[in-house]
Structure formats: C-alpha cells, structure tokens
Structure 1
Amino acid sequence: MSESLAENVDVRVQNLLGCLNSHTSHAKKNIFHENIQLLVEELLDSQSKLASINNVIEKTLLSREQFTVLFEKAPVGFIVLDEQYHIVEANTVARSQLNLAHDQQSPNYNHLKIVSFIVKGVADFIDWISADSTEGLIVELHDANKKGQVKLNQTSLIISKKRFHFISMISIAKEYYLNESLRLFKMVFEFSSQGIMIADVNKNIIEVNPAFSKITGYLLEDIKGCKPEVLAADSESEEYYQTIYADLVYNNSWKGIVYNCNKNGQVYPEELEMVAVYGADNTNMPIHYIGIFENISERVEKENKLKELAEMDILTGLYNRQGFNQKFENKFQVAQRNGDNFSILFIDLDNFKYLNDRYGHNYGDELLKLMALRITNNLKKTDVVARLGGDEFIIILSGNVLKASLNNLAHKLSVLLSKPYNIFDIEYVCSASIGIATYPDDAIEPIALLKSADAAMYQAKFLGRNRYQFFNEELFNQHTICQKTITDVDDGIPQHQFLLHYQAQHDMNTGDLVGFEALVRWHYSEGEIRYPKEFLPYIEKEQQMIKLGRLLINQAFINVNTWCKSGFKWPVSINLSADQLRLAETYELISTLCDKYPKVRSLIHIEVTETAIFENDPLIEKNINQLKQLGLHLVLDDFGTGYSSIYSLKKFQFDVIKIDKGFVDDILSGDNNNLVILNGIIRLIQELNIAIICEGVETHQQVDYLVNKDCKIAQGFFYHKPMHKNQMLKYIAPYL
C-alpha cells in the first residue's frame, strides 16, 4: 500500500510542475488547484488507512505475546512440527521432556526431528500423524538422562499455506499419578466412616459422602445448597458456626466439638474439622470448604463414665476429692454470681483408727460405707456429699440455709452418726466431729472457706469430740497455729531439734537421788526452747506424734546406756501416749532396744496417763502387759485428773503412781477442802501399797506437808529443773 501511495503522489506532483512551467492561464490555474486538492485528499485517506493497519499490527503483536505466555506456561508439554516433522516450537514442559536447550533469541532445535527422540513406536507415530488421528498415542521417549512413556494428542493447522502439527505431550507416570490420586480420593470419599461435606465459596453444600448420609440421615438432594449450620442442634449451636467461620478466615482450619441434630431430631455430639481450600492462583479467597466429622456419642458417653469413675469414691459411692473439687468450684461460682450463700460441713470420725488397728481394714471399710449411707439418707438429693479420704467426709448444702436449720441438721447428724453400727460380727460405736462454715459470712474465697470448716471441725475435736462447731475467727487462728505447728514439728524431727531433758526425783527425807523423768524439749531456734504443752496437744492425734515418740525412745536408751559406763544406776521414766501404747511397733521397738542395751532394761520405767488406761482399749492393755513382761516398771502419771478406777489400778499393777502438780499446789493455797482431796488420794494409793511420787514440788512448805503424810519421793524445781544430757554426769557425781 505504501508503494501505490508513492506512485499516486509522484503523478500528482509531475502534473503540478507542468502547470507551473507553462504560461499560467486562468484555466490552468483551475487545474493546478484541483490537483492540489486531490493530492491532499489522497494523503489524508492514506494516513487513515495507515493508522488502521498500525492498530491491527499492534493487536496482532499483543495476541502473539499472550499466546507465547500461555504456550510457555502450560502445565503439559506442547510442540509444533512442520510437514517434515522438524521441531518448530516447544514449550517449557516439552523441552524438559525432550531435554532440549532453549535460547529465547534463536532456538537451536528447529533442525531436529521428533522421531529422533522416539525409542519405541516410530512407525506407529508416522502412521498416526500422517492420518491426522484424533486418538491418543503412547510412545516411549529417551535421551541421555531420561526414559519414559508419554501420551500424544494432535491437531493440524494451516498457517500461510503451510501445514503444521500441534502436539500435546503428557507423561504417562504423571497421568497415572493423577488418575490414581483421583481414584484413591474417590475411595476415601465413598468408603470413609467419617462424614464428609464439600461447600462452595458461599458455604453452600455441593457434595456429601455416604457416611454423611448415614450419620445425619440426609441425602445430598435433601441438603444440597444449604449451609452446614442447618444441622445445628439449636440456635446457640447455630451461632457457634459463625465463630468457626471466623476462625477459618484467620487460621484456614478449625477443629472442635459441635452438637448437631440428625434427620430424626436426635441431638448428637460431633467432632468436626473444617478447612478452607484455596485455588492455584493463591488468591486470598477460598474456593471451597471441606468438613470432616464423626458422631462421637459413644466416646463422649465412655469419657463421661470414666470421668464419673474418676470423680467417685469406689468404696462409698460418694464423690471423691476430685469430684468434690469440681462441684465445690461450680457451687462457689454460682453463689458469687447470684449473691447466694451456702454452707459446708466437714466431718471427721472419732477413733476410726482404733477400729482399723483392732479388727482390720475390712471392718474400717464397712464402717465408712455405713457412715456414708447414714449421711446421704438424711440429706436432700441436691446436697453434695463427698469422702475426701480416710475417715473425712464433707457436705455442700444446697440453697440458703438459716443458721437455726444448720444447727438442727448438725445436731441430727451428730446424734445419728454416734449410734452403734453392726459391722459383721461386732457392734461398734463411733462418733463424729463436725465443723461448719458458711459463704460469705465465714470466708469469701474457696480455699479459705474449706480451711474455716476444717478449723471448726478441729475445734470440735479439741472440745471433746462427738460434737459440732460453727466457725469463728478465734477457731481459725487456732487452726492456723495447729497446722503450722504440725508442719514445724515434721521439719524439726530430721533436724534433731527435739531433745530429752531429765528432771531429778529425790527422797524428801534423806535428799538422796532416786530417779529421773525424761521430758522432751523443742530447741526451736537458737535461744528458744519450747515446752511440751506448746506443741504436743497439736500433734497428739497426728503421725508426727508417733515419729517423735520413736525418736525420743531411742534417745532415752542411748543416753542411759552412755551414762551407765560412768556408773549411772537410777531409773528413768519415759512417757508414752495412748496412741503409742496402741501400736504394736512401740512394744517391738522397746523390746529391740532392751536386747540391744541389756544394762538399760532394768532402769527404764514406762509412764502412762490416766486418759490412756481409761479408754479401756484391748490393744493398749495387751501392749502394757507385754512391756511389763520385759521387766519394765509401770508408772501412772497425773493421777486424780482423769477417770481411772480402782479396778484399772489393780489390773495394770502399777509400780508407781504420780500425784499431779495441781493437787500439790493446793498445799500452798490453805484451802482445807482441796487438801481433803489430796489427803484422800494419798491414803488411797498407800492403801494399795503403791509407791508415790509427788510432782511439782517447789517449796519447803510442800516438802514438810508431804513428808508429814508419809510421802517419800518428790520431783520439782525445789530440787532441780530438767537438765540437758550434758549436765547429767556432773549432777549425779555427788550421789555415786
């Protein structure tokens, strides 16, 4: 078109020049103007056509560029062959399959024929391509590094009157993998025991598997186009799905438990996992959502049963500590939220250990079961009863219970629990101590409330057992001291803080040394010594008492054995509590020490209190008699302060009876009525022909009075305070 335009312009210019070279007439001027106008019109027309042509060229170039990108980036191999099967073009995948190098400026493989890359099937290939077959063909390619089958598909193209073959190449291995993956996915989808649902970008369900229908009862046609929350059991569960979708936005997946409803209206727990699926273009918007779930009703039921077992006391059927803690925490939260009050009762059995020790643990277990029945049968079903362990029970009363009602209930339980129990072949009486605390009057924190009830229970025991006690601040402080003392004693035993001090006993007539009593002192800290009354009452019923007693018995034997090497010859009394006397191990320990230190055996006296023998315990009686058989003397301490009978004095055959300091102090008071009691005690013991030791003697007046009553032996500050073991040899030296 540019050549034609040039020719026309040249002709017009020659005509114009002709007009200008001749004598210009009016007619020729008109011809000149006409030629100029025609030339301009042709130039304008040609410019418009050039613009159109340029636009077409630009579009063609753009299309070429787009085609090149698509051709190069295609996920399968593409090659273009000419009529002689030379490779004209090959995309990235095809070049990789054929191991062709590629120069973007001038490809250097257009002299190669495709057949040179085919190992097997060359003839089939030529027949196939010549026939323009639309069927796929499998051939085997090779090069220096690779070998494998590919599947070919073709189409023929006529470009500029030339024939080209456009061929796709797909690796058989890749196709197999894709098909196998699809087959496996289909198997998983069809045969999975878990329900699977697939939703579109708008969360509308588009596909479900058979397990989905089995679990929910809905077929695909029932639910297609619905959203997953259509299965929700209630509006609350439906709202929960919105939180799931929110999580999917940020985390791409969610896993948890939802409650759904099947087609029959049955609600079931479902463990659901949902994931967001994104397209290959990696855009920020999911293209699908997949939900995988299973009905976990049986699992939840088993877990609930296991939880129930974990929270129940197997022996009594009550809640155990774990179950109680859960109920107590829930009750506390409700009370705080609603402004309610509620009360707890802490129950501890009295003398339960004796039953176990005397008859065996099966008797103790039976008592606990009977006790649990009595408690539960007299409470409301909404009340919570738990056995915390051992012989400790606790009750959470439901509702706002007035103090008067609490008082009536506690009294009722106290009376009820103290009635005799028929346990196998015996009838046994066992009482209980009950402590009561109320939220928020006694405490506003859970642990503090439990401590308050516990403190009240210990106060009930301290006041004599078989009773109930409401919490008050003083009780709490006492309980705190008690607990701290128990802990400190436990810590102090291995640190050797407890040592025996020895107080001398003298003949009041002659002044001769006749014996010693071993008294424990707690060297709590440097310069601070604590006396028995400051800690023994707190540990009397605790294991620490047994541990401490074992330590002190050993100390006494070792100390006396050491002094015997220096001529020591006086008896030493060691104190044993009722709990120590009840244990066979106490007798066994003393028996072992007697064998180990034979010189000490005749010097050890066993000192017991009236309270111990008043309990009328067969185990205590048995162990006392065994100790007597070892050749040990028996001393009754604090006579007149307890409830011992003449029969008990004769039954245990005491060698010595000690008159309590409280009666000796009456000598100084001048109160004749009190002295009548002291005089009566002295005469009674003398009539029984049992030796007397008077405790707490501090003055000449007391000595004179007692000597006048024919009492011979005294112990007290009048003679000497209790001494550390290191002072003993110096003290006894004058009497050797």
Structure 2
Amino acid sequence: MKSYADGNTLRMPDSCQFQAAEREAVLLLCDDQITAFNDAARQLFQASGQQLTTLQHPAQLSPATQPCGKASFEKAELMLAKARAQGRHQFYWLHQRFNGDLFYALVTLTAEDTTESARVQAVVQDLTAQTRHMLDAAMGRLMFSKSHDALMITDSNNLILDVSPAFCQITGYARTETLGKPAGFMRSGVHDQQFYACLWQQLLQTGCWEGEIWDKHRQGHLFPKDLKICAVAGPDGHVMNYLALFSDVTEKIQHKQELEKLAYYDTLTGLPNRALLLETLERKVSTLNQQAGGQHLALAFIDIDNFKAINDTKGHLFGDLLIKAVTARIAALLDQDDFLGRMSGDEFLLIFSASCTLSEVELRLNRILEVLREPFALEDSSQHVNLSIGVSLYPTDGTDCKSLIAKADIAMYHAKKSGGSHVRFYCAEVGAQFFEQSDIELHLAEAISQGAIVPKFQPKIALQHGTISGAEILARWCRQNGDYVAPDKFIPVAEQQRLIHKLSDSLLSQSALCLQQQGITVPITLAFNVSAQQLLDPKFGRDFLALLHHRGLSPQLCEIEITESCLIENFGQAKDCINQLRQQGIKVSIDDFGTGFCSLNYLRSLSVDTIKLDRSFIAELDPQNLNNIIVVKAIIDLAHQLGIRVLAEGVETRSQLHILKTLQCDEVQGFYFAPALAWRDFCQFVSGFDASSIQQLNHNLPHSALAALLADKQ
C-alpha cells in the first residue's frame, strides 16, 4: 500500500488500487475536490498541503483559459466525465503553479466507477523539459534550413559533416562538394599561419572563437565573413563536434568604408578632409614627441589667391572644377609619404614626411608654385592660378597640432599680404604682426562705439599771408593700456570690416563737439578723409550733408580729402558724388597727388578745389635735386592754370618751406609747424601762431644755380 499525505498526514484508503510511479505527481479527487496527494504533487505545484486540499475544483490549478480557447473549468469537467465514462482518460493540459508559472503536463485520469461521485486518481507528468527539447529541436531545424547565416558542422577532426542551404548560397559550393572535406578548404591565403594558430589556441582553451576572416568563393573571388565557432562536447567531456556560424559581411564592410569615406574624405576632391588631416597630424606629432629628439616635421598651409573673386565671377561650378584641377596638379608633385588634405574651401594642408629636409621642403614648394602658374584649361577658358603657402616647423614653431596649424596659417597670410604666389616660413616677427592685426580686428568695433578713436587736428598754413587756413582731421587711437595704434594699421581693418562709415561719423561728431565746447576766433576749414568705400556708396553724399546739418557744421567750412584709389574703382560714381558735395559748398581735395598714373587725367575731368602734393615729393625738395623741384613747379603751375589750389604735405624743414613759397605753393602742413594736435592744443596753437616768420620769407631761392635754372625754364 502506498500512502499519500501532506503535512497533515492525509492517507488514501487501503483499498486504493491506483498505481503511479513514485516520481510522478498524484492527486486523489473525490466529488471533484482534492482529498489526497503525494509529495511529488506538492513540489510540482509549489504548494503546501493545505493550499491543495482547500481548492474547490482541480481546474483551480490551471489558468482561466486553456490554449484551445476553452475555459479551464468547463474543459476539466469534460475531461473528468470522459474518465468516469471510460474508466481512464489521458490528455495534455496547461497547469499553473502557485507561484504563477505555467507548464504543460500529460494528465492521466483513472476512475473507480462511472458515478459522478466516484473517486478519480490524477497522475500529472511535467512536460517542461520535453517541451523545451522539442522547441529547441524545432528551432534548430528551422535555423539550419531557413537561416540567412551559414551553418557548418564538423567532427572532432574538423571534417565537414553537414552544411546548411545558406552555406551553399554564400560560398557557391553544393552540399555534396563539402561533405568530408576539412573545414579550412576555402582558405583565402590572406591570413598567415600565426593567425590560424591563435584561432585554434583560443578555441581549444575557451571552446569558442569569433572574428572576421577572409575565405575564397567557389568562383575564385575572396569575401569577408563574420565567423563564430563553438566546440560541442560529448558525454565523456571531450570535443565531439565543432559548430561554425558565419555570414558574408561584404556589404557591411563596403557600407563601413563608405561611411568612413564620408567622415574622413572630401567629396569634391577625394582628398583627406579636415577631420582626417587633424587626426593624422596629431598621430605624427605624438610619435615625434615620444621619440628622443632630433626629428623635425614641416607643415604647409596652402591657399589659392583670389579664389573668391574667381568663384563669384565664373560661378561655383567653375570654382569646383578649378579646385579639383589644382589639387590634382599638386598631388602629382608629391612623394608617397607626403599627406595632402583639404581643410575647407580653397585651403589645404600638406604634411611632409619626417625625412624631408628643410631645403627639400622649400625646393618642392617652389616647384609647386611654378607648376601651378601654368594656366588651367577649364570650360573652354584659360584660368591662371597663384598660391600662397605658409610653412611651420616641428618643434621650432610648436609641438602640438594647434600651434603648428595656426603658425602655418599666419605664414600663409604673410605670403598673401606680400602679393601672393610666395612661400613664407613662420617667424616671430610675422607672428607678432599677425597677432597685432588680429587684436585690432577684435577690438576695433568696440573702440569706435566707445569713442576711443579720437580726432586730432593738424594745422594747414596759407603761405601767401602766413595764416592758418584749416586743419586736417586725423584719427588717433591710444588704448587704455597706453599702447598707440597707428592709423595705417587700423584704417585698413575698418575698411575690411565695413566700419569706415561708423569711424568717419564718430570723428565728425567728436570734431563738431570740440568746436561747440571751445571755439576759435578765426574761421578754419576742417578736412575729413574719405575712403573709396564711402565715396562709392550711393547714399554717402546725402548722409554726409545730413550729418553736417545735424552737428551744426557749415558745409562751406568743410572739405573732404579723397585718394586716387577712390577714382580708379568707379570714376563715374565718384565724379557724381563730388559734384553733389561741391554744389552744397563742400570743398574737395585729391590727397597724395602725383603717386598715381592717372592724376593728370583726373584734373582734366574733375572739378576739385585742391590737390595735395604727396610727401614723397616734399621729402626730396632740396636745392641739390633740381629735377624734383622742376616736377613740383610744373604740377603747381598746371594746377594754377586749371584754377586749383596746391597744398604740400609733410613739410619738415625751413628750406622746404622756402622753396615751396618761391614756387608759389598755396598751402603747407607738416611737422615743421605741428603734428596732429588734440583740440585744446590746436586752439592754443592757433591763438599763438606767429605769421611773421612766413611773411618774412623772401622769394629769392637760397641756391643761385637753382634760381638760374628756373629762370632758364621760364
């Protein structure tokens, strides 16, 4: 007799003839309620004896619904009825443990008789392991036959036992061609023996290996595959089989290469882009920094001169073609170890090999300049190209990428400022100039808005009466730290940054304020310098007159000074603006007269009040230099015949003053009298000026030979 009990020692009747294996779960049902069970049942359902015996129906050991869709209670009643009717009934059932886990079981019901109150023995066999095995087998069959990845099974000697359809599709071999062959029969020859030795060593030690490997297709071409190998142990623990899983990763590698190309190569030229350039330079510099020393490296920053003008004039498509042609021509001149890449636009970096000497670097860069001067034939036109190249050296100019690139860029900028088509090596002087320029560019706008750039007034003297006739307004910038910034440094920057209008307006407003705060007793003309950028602005004349009116300045006491460059860019526009201003009473003078090639033509075509002789003529105004005196006299005489006054700038000696008065020059200015002065100092100069020293100058030249020469010319 077998006893079945829970913790309360419930026993089955001695007359029970039901049979079941000791390991199987057995439940005894009476009137559809569990009255007894064995220990295997309690363990199977993860329950205590009390939990089982308090159940009202065996269907409570199941989820609410069976996989077929029927309610568990209704289907359980049907199964019990069949057992009573047939004496025994076996079926599959989805049970639920008390912890909530579901499991499949094979249930065998055995009944004593056919009455509804008959006792029924339920034997529940857990099918979890069998189900898992069946699922794994089904999945394995499905994977083997349907997987896109290739599967290969070998014996312990690595001879092929079977391959999947995907294997045949990927490799090109039929299944019958592979069976019995060594697994390595498709070796590509790409990997050496050391590679395979390491593979097998890891496989034997760990039981698995994975990585990328190249094999040979049946048609002969090589292909990469992502391979995983697993050793399968037999009952004795020794390797029984090897299972290999792989896929063709050709497209993956190609996609990776395409992404890498997009990330590291310029799409227009095919050259390495900025990212790869910086990465390469960083690697080279890092290697040099780790070495003992004595090594050097040259970095060239290359820029196409006037490329923006070419691009704007002939279009971006032409510009792209030119970029490609230029880089192709440069690349053809490089050694294998040189590294050329495109930084951006028309800027390129060339990293020379560490073995290249400085003399070789200079020689080869000059060769590049020479070859690039040959015109390019593009779109049925011939295009000339010049390059500006700056060079920095490791470790002289820096031991990090940022410093080397910055200093090569500075040297290139210096080459461009020198006229282009040059190679310039970085030096400390060039660097100082560049940083000074950069500092000016950074702070100029703020200096203008804060009024830090102030007007200074340089007196103009009328030679006939020896009186002060006016003053030229000159911009002066003294920074808070006391540093003086020369006008020839910040005025060009103001023009480049389109700040020249704001600067001129600020100077005019400050000058007007000076006149209002502390006037002078004699009327003087204030002369303002005007750039080409201002004069060629269609709104300049109107805006200038409006500003004069707003600041309370009389147009009749104002003069604008223009240079010949204003006229060269657009003579018609300049002429119209000049006529507009003169009609309102504003005087006009041409500054630096005599230094251009078209000055006489301008005098013939323009209506101006004054020409200012360039200081280069005055500096050589010496009794010993008769030719220069003759030229100056000719200019003065010609101007007078055209009804134009002449002012000589840069007068520094009494001898120069004497000659100019003798030649009947109308006005002078220069350090002989005074530099540009602050308004208060200018007012003191005006009030204390003694005209007698000029009035006492006689017309007799201090050099008899000069007087005789001029007499002969007359």
Report TM bin, short chain.
0.5 to 0.7
Q: Distance in 2 between matches of 1:171 and 1:243?
A: 41
Asked whether the 8 Å contact 2:203–2:231 carries over to 1, the reply is no
In proportion to residue count, which structure has more helix? Answer: 1
Deviation at 1:493, TM superposition (A): 1.8
Match in the other structure for 1:167? 123
2:36 maps to 1:87:
yes
Residues 315, 81 of structure 1: CA spacing in aligned structure 2 closer, same or farther, 3 A cutoff?
closer
Q: 1:234 aligns with which of 191, 194, 204?
A: 191
Match in the other structure for 1:375? 330
2:386 maps to 1:431:
yes
2:302 maps to 1:302:
no
Deviation at 1:480, TM superposition (A): 4.4
- The size of the alignment, in residue pairs, is 614
Deviation at 1:432, TM superposition (A): 3.1
Q: 1:507 aligns with which of 461, 466, 469?
A: 461
Q: 1:554 aligns with which of 476, 500, 505?
A: 505
Deviation at 1:520, TM superposition (A): 3.1
The aligned runs of 1:46-57 (5 Å cut-off) are none
1:196-216 per-residue CA deviation (whole Å, 9 max, x = no partner) reads 689999999999764455445
Unaligned runs of 5+ in 2: 1-20, 62-75, 111-119, 233-239, 690-714
Residues 142, 254 of structure 1: CA spacing in aligned structure 2 closer, same or farther, 3 A cutoff?
closer
Residues 439, 247 of structure 1: CA spacing in aligned structure 2 closer, same or farther, 3 A cutoff?
farther
Greater CA drift, 327-336 or 527-536? 327-336
2:435 maps to 1:478:
no
Q: 2:547 aligns with which of 584, 597, 609?
A: 597
Q: Distance in 2 between matches of 1:733 and 1:348?
A: 56
Deviation at 1:593, TM superposition (A): 2.5
Any idea what SS the aligned residue of 2:497 has?
A: helix
Match in the other structure for 1:490? 442
The aligned runs of 1:141-160 (5 Å cut-off) are 151-153=105-107
The TM-score with structure 2 as length reference comes to: 0.64
Residues 143, 553 of structure 1: CA spacing in aligned structure 2 closer, same or farther, 3 A cutoff?
closer
Asked whether the 8 Å contact 1:637–1:660 carries over to 2, the reply is yes
Match in the other structure for 2:11? none
2:411 maps to 1:456:
yes
Asked whether the 8 Å contact 2:156–2:242 carries over to 1, the reply is yes
Letter in 2 for 1:490: L
Asked whether the 8 Å contact 1:695–1:715 carries over to 2, the reply is yes
Any idea what SS the aligned residue of 2:302 has?
A: strand
Residues 303, 89 of structure 1: CA spacing in aligned structure 2 closer, same or farther, 3 A cutoff?
closer
Asked whether the 8 Å contact 1:79–1:89 carries over to 2, the reply is yes
RMSD over aligned CA atoms reads 6.0
Residues 732, 294 of structure 1: CA spacing in aligned structure 2 closer, same or farther, 3 A cutoff?
farther
Residues 323, 572 of structure 1: CA spacing in aligned structure 2 closer, same or farther, 3 A cutoff?
farther
Q: Distance in 2 between matches of 1:570 and 1:254?
A: 94
Asked whether the 8 Å contact 2:620–2:628 carries over to 1, the reply is no
Match in the other structure for 2:663? 709
Deviation at 1:714, TM superposition (A): 2.7
Q: 2:278 aligns with which of 322, 325, 346?
A: 325
The aligned runs of 1:177-216 (5 Å cut-off) are 183=138, 187=142, 190-195=145-150, 210-211=165-166, 214-215=169-170
Deviation at 1:122, TM superposition (A): 1.3
1:639-674 per-residue CA deviation (whole Å, 9 max, x = no partner) reads 56676664566567765433344554556xxx5445
Deviation at 1:89, TM superposition (A): 0.8
1:428-487 per-residue CA deviation (whole Å, 9 max, x = no partner) reads 655333334455676554444434433433343444433333x25xx2442244135314
**Greater radius of gyration (CA):** 1
Letter in 2 for 1:502: K
Match in the other structure for 2:64? none
1:56-80 per-residue CA deviation (whole Å, 9 max, x = no partner) reads xxxxxxxxxxxxxxxxxx9x97226
Deviation at 1:223, TM superposition (A): 9.5
Residues 702, 140 of structure 1: CA spacing in aligned structure 2 closer, same or farther, 3 A cutoff?
closer
2:578 maps to 1:628:
yes
Q: Distance in 2 between matches of 1:442 and 1:527?
A: 30
Match in the other structure for 1:124? 82
Q: Distance in 2 between matches of 1:653 and 1:121?
A: 122
Residues 534, 607 of structure 1: CA spacing in aligned structure 2 closer, same or farther, 3 A cutoff?
same
The aligned runs of 1:357-436 (5 Å cut-off) are 367-379=322-334, 383-397=338-352, 400-419=355-374, 430-436=385-391
Letter in 2 for 1:260: W
Q: Distance in 2 between matches of 1:243 and 1:90?
A: 50
Greater CA drift, 494-503 or 374-383? 374-383
The TM-score with structure 1 as length reference comes to: 0.63
The aligned runs of 1:62-73 (5 Å cut-off) are none
Residues 92, 645 of structure 1: CA spacing in aligned structure 2 closer, same or farther, 3 A cutoff?
farther
Match in the other structure for 2:70? none
Letter in 2 for 1:191: K
Identity %: 22
Asked whether the 8 Å contact 2:473–2:526 carries over to 1, the reply is no
Any idea what SS the aligned residue of 1:305 has?
A: helix
Match in the other structure for 1:96? 45
Match in the other structure for 1:680? 631
Residues 534, 292 of structure 1: CA spacing in aligned structure 2 closer, same or farther, 3 A cutoff?
farther
Residues 238, 672 of structure 1: CA spacing in aligned structure 2 closer, same or farther, 3 A cutoff?
farther
Asked whether the 8 Å contact 2:456–2:678 carries over to 1, the reply is yes
Deviation at 1:490, TM superposition (A): 1.6
Q: Distance in 2 between matches of 1:480 and 1:291?
A: 67
Letter in 2 for 1:572: A
Deviation at 1:102, TM superposition (A): 2.4
1:527-584 per-residue CA deviation (whole Å, 9 max, x = no partner) reads 4332224556xxx5x787334424313324544676798999734322527xx47xx9
Match in the other structure for 1:64? none
Residues 679, 311 of structure 1: CA spacing in aligned structure 2 closer, same or farther, 3 A cutoff?
farther
2:531 maps to 1:576:
yes
2:215 maps to 1:261:
yes
Asked whether the 8 Å contact 2:462–2:469 carries over to 1, the reply is no
Match in the other structure for 1:62? none
Any idea what SS the aligned residue of 1:525 has?
A: coil
Match in the other structure for 2:66? none
Letter in 1 for 2:442: D
Any idea what SS the aligned residue of 2:668 has?
A: strand
Letter in 2 for 1:597: L
Q: Distance in 1 between matches of 2:422 and 2:101?
A: 96
Deviation at 1:687, TM superposition (A): 1.8
Greater CA drift, 351-360 or 512-521? 351-360
Match in the other structure for 1:19? none
The aligned runs of 1:347-366 (5 Å cut-off) are 347-355=302-310
1:293-316 per-residue CA deviation (whole Å, 9 max, x = no partner) reads 643322332343344355454555
Asked whether the 8 Å contact 1:559–1:725 carries over to 2, the reply is no
Greater CA drift, 486-495 or 112-121? 112-121
Residues 491, 168 of structure 1: CA spacing in aligned structure 2 closer, same or farther, 3 A cutoff?
farther
Asked whether the 8 Å contact 2:457–2:678 carries over to 1, the reply is no
Q: Distance in 2 between matches of 1:552 and 1:514?
A: 25
Q: Distance in 2 between matches of 1:622 and 1:431?
A: 32
Asked whether the 8 Å contact 1:217–1:262 carries over to 2, the reply is no
1:399-418 per-residue CA deviation (whole Å, 9 max, x = no partner) reads 84455554443444334434
Letter in 2 for 1:91: A
Asked whether the 8 Å contact 1:508–1:703 carries over to 2, the reply is no
Greater CA drift, 146-155 or 425-434? 146-155
Letter in 2 for 1:576: S
Any idea what SS the aligned residue of 1:631 has?
A: helix
Asked whether the 8 Å contact 2:469–2:524 carries over to 1, the reply is no
Asked whether the 8 Å contact 1:561–1:597 carries over to 2, the reply is no
2:483 maps to 1:528:
yes
Asked whether the 8 Å contact 1:329–1:446 carries over to 2, the reply is yes
Asked whether the 8 Å contact 2:455–2:474 carries over to 1, the reply is yes
